[in-house]
Amino acid sequence: MEKTRTIAVVDDDETIRRALDDLIHACGYGSALFATAEEFLAFDGRAGVDCILVDVKMPGMGGIELQLKLNADPPKPPMIFMTSNADDGTRAAAMAGGAFAFLRKPGEIHRLTDFMRLALQQKP
């Protein structure tokens, strides 16, 4: 039996987490939901996460800081950044840190399922 791929959602907005959870399950994947980056870092099952959907700006540690922490302790799963408040500098920082994709909410969110599928193909 093939392992279900797991996508983590790290976003402080509960409505976004629930909507992404529904989308992830509709695509046939499993999910793990976190309201903060710190919550994700404390998660014992982190090694089983195949892709991370992360908000750039959250209370406490933001998405870029999470990315830096994960980069210091490889391997890390592909990260797809989502934000409604991004500037070019934030996008450049995420991409320079190895982000798989960077999407603006809600305008580019329709591309998310394609990016999830492609990111999961990157991780064996």
**Domain limits, the chain:** 24-50+64-122
What is each CA distance from 122 to 15, 40, 78, 105, in whole angstroms? 28, 21, 8, 24
Homologous superfamily (CATH) for 24-50+64-122? Response regulator (3.40.50.2300)
Please return the burial class of 86, using the count of CB atoms within 10 Å of its CB with bins 0-12, 13-18 and 19+: middle
Query: What angle do the packed helices 112-122 and 14-26 form, to 10 degrees?
Result: 70
3-class state of residue 72 by DSSP? coil
> What digits encode the pLDDT tens for the residues 24-78?
999 999 999 999 999 999 999 999 999 999 999 999 999 999 999 999 987 889 9
- Whether residue 106 has a cis bond before it, omega within 30° of 0: yes
pLDDT, averaged across the chain = 89
